[in-house]
Amino acid sequence: MSKKRIDPHKGQEVRYYREPNGDYLAIDYPSHKHYASARNSVLGCRCWEGRATCIGGLITSVCTTGISGTFLMGCVKVRKADVPPEWIQAIGLEDAV
């Protein structure tokens, strides 16, 4: 019998990641459905809508952007509780509790 991997983020609308440079980002997980429908004709990749810094290390530069699955492979998935409050506020994608 194989062990199933438990995903502690399953069911969350917003998922948080830490970039290699130490910045945090968040993706709106359900937005993948929208991007997937246009994937082949527009984006050519697996993408989500998210919030991330446009200038590395500058928390005040957080903006809305498309985030690819390839980019996320270089990031570490983190729990919301592990994201510093100033990053939660800057990201501004508060998911319903």
- Determine the pLDDT at residue 5: 47
More confident residue, 83 or 2: 83
pTM of the predicted model as reported, rounded to 2 decimal places:
0.75
Phi, psi for residue 85 in degrees, rounded to 5: -55, -35
Spatial contact of 50 and 26, defined as CB atoms under 8 Å apart: yes
Question: What is the C-alpha separation between 19 and 38, in angstroms, rounded?
Answer: 26
Q: What angle do CA 28, 29, 35 make, to 5 degrees?
A: 90
> What are the C-alpha distances in Å from 62 to residues 5, 13, 40, 59, 90?
32, 19, 28, 6, 6
pLDDT averaged over the chain?
79
Banded pLDDT at 35 (limits 50, 70, 90):
low
Taking 50 as the threshold, does the pLDDT of residue 51 lie above it?
yes
Q: For residue 73, what pLDDT band results from cuts at 50, 70 and 90?
A: very high
